[in-house]
Amino acid sequence: MLYYTFIVHAFEAGTIIAIVGGVIGYFVVLRRSAFAAHALSHIGFAGAAGAVVLNLFYPWVTPLYGLLAFTTGGAAAMAGLGKRASQRDMSIGITLAFMLGLGSLFITLYGIYGAAFSEEAYSILFGDIFGITTLNVVITLLAGMILLLLTSFIYRPLLFSSLDQEVAEAKGMPTLRLGLVFMLLLAVATSIAVQIIGVLLIFSLLVTPAAVAQQVTTRPSRAILVSVIVAVVATWLGIFISYYINFPASFFITSLSFGAYLIARYVYPKVRPSSILRGRAQESEETKEHTHESSKEIPAIPERTG
């Protein structure tokens, strides 16, 4: 199957997006920004639809440009709305509805000026993983690398201000600006992910893998790793299955990550009695790590039985 370029492109772009989604997604879950992420993808929908219309007149305009323009604008606006999620929800919801309306206008305009618009609309809403060009892959790769570099640079201050904003602020961390930077990172991640998974299904790469990770580990660095693995495996398997069974890859990717969540949530705690959900130590992992990393200075943490 790797004989076909479109399959190779699907795997390449899919992998990059899964990695980025897994990393950024952890912070989305940690910062309780799922609704903002959801709204960003819908704002992106308006941008993509607008770009599709512009494309009729200016062929160089691609949906990705529209996505980037709208999501980064939306992200900056949301970050400016303030830190309290409860205050933001209303404003985000109102903007979200307006943007969806704008998107539907653009889609209609496209129908008036262009030809059949349903296909374009469908690929924005649900993704078109087998329609990725070489240029798309290159752009995705560049954007992905920049996102990962920036995220690793702000990793600890972002983690600090996500978990404990007031103390982080007292320690001199620019918590508000970190919030803005994070929203911009999320905007770019959303924009590149829409090509693969579409506006409506973006959660399966941005939120679900991170939610899985939160169920299985209490250490942020590991949670990010688990989140990336879940996203990558779901994407690979999704593309693979979709190639043999002619149903949309988006469907399989979302189903697989959802399945992983169900297992992490309901099966994992039972097969692992020392579950973090009951607040106990992760014996095997921790013991291994302590003998590994710091056998001298720190005595192994006593195992807990109850």
Partner 1 sequence: MATEIQTIELPKAQLDSQIIVAEQVVAGYRDNIVWSNASFTIGQGQFIAVIGPNGAGKTTLFRLLLGIQQPKSGEILVFGEHPKKGNSRIGYVPQQHKIDNDLTVQALELVRLGASGNSWGISLFSDEDRKLALNSLRAVGAEKLAQRSLNGLSGGELQKVFLAEALVSNPDVLLLDEPLTGLDIRAEQELLGLVYDIVQTRNVTALIVAHDINPLLPFLDKIVYIANGKVATGTPDEVLTTESLSSLYGSHVEVLHDSKGNIAIIGIHESHERVKQR
In the bound state with partner 1, the residue whose beta carbon lies nearer, of 191 and 282, is 282
Residue type, 223: A
CA pair distance 298, 28, nearest whole angstrom: 33
In the bound state with partner 1, the residue whose beta carbon lies nearer, of 137 and 173, is 173
288 binds partner 1 (CB under 8 A): no
Which two three-digit tokens encode residue 5?
């370029």
Which two three-digit tokens encode residue 98?
């307006």
In the bound state with partner 1, the residue whose beta carbon lies nearer, of 86 and 246, is 86
- Chain centre to alpha carbon of residue 97: 21
Which two three-digit tokens encode residue 171?
């320690």
In the bound state with partner 1, the residue whose beta carbon lies nearer, of 118 and 294, is 294
Which two three-digit tokens encode residue 114?
């262009």
Smallest gap, in angstroms, from Cβ of residue 180 to partner 1? Answer: 16
In the bound state with partner 1, the residue whose beta carbon lies nearer, of 76 and 300, is 300
Chosen residue from 59, 273, 279, 306 binding partner 1 by CB under 8 A: 279
84 binds partner 1 (CB under 8 A): no
154 binds partner 1 (CB under 8 A): yes
83 binds partner 1 (CB under 8 A): no
Smallest gap, in angstroms, from Cβ of residue 18 to partner 1? Answer: 20
CA pair distance 74, 120, nearest whole angstrom: 22
> CA 256, 72, 121, 93 torsion: positive or negative?
positive
272 binds partner 1 (CB under 8 A): no
Instruction: Find the DSSP H helices in 58-84.
Output: 63-80
Contacts of residue 281, defined as CB under 8 A and 6 or more positions apart, other chains included, come to 274, 301, 303, 304
Residue type, 164: D
CA pair distance 43, 103, nearest whole angstrom: 8
DSSP3 helix / strand / coil % (the chain, rounded to 5): 80, 0, 20
For the chain, the straight-line distance linking the first and the last C-alpha, in angstroms and rounded, comes to 51
Q: What is the DSSP letter of 263?
A: I
Query: 213: left (phi > 0), else alpha (psi -120 to 50), else beta?
Result: alpha
Smallest gap, in angstroms, from Cβ of residue 166 to partner 1? Answer: 4
Q: Pattern of binders to partner 1 over 210-249, x per CB under 8 A? A: ----xx-xxxx-----------------------------
261 binds partner 1 (CB under 8 A): no
Smallest gap, in angstroms, from Cβ of residue 296 to partner 1? Answer: 10
20 membership: H or E segment, kind and range? helix 5-30
Smallest gap, in angstroms, from Cβ of residue 286 to partner 1? Answer: 6
In the bound state with partner 1, the residue whose beta carbon lies nearer, of 26 and 126, is 26
In the bound state with partner 1, the residue whose beta carbon lies nearer, of 125 and 178, is 178
Chosen residue from 86, 244, 273, 302 binding partner 1 by CB under 8 A: 302
Smallest gap, in angstroms, from Cβ of residue 216 to partner 1? Answer: 9
Binding to partner 1, residues 171-190 (CB under 8 A): 171-173
Please answer whether residues 66 and 49 qualify as being in contact, where contact means their C-beta atoms are separated by less than 8 angstroms. yes
Binding site residues, partner 1, CB under 8 A: 30, 32, 152-157, 159-160, 163-164, 166-173, 214-215, 217-220, 276-282, 286, 293-294, 297-298, 301-302, 304
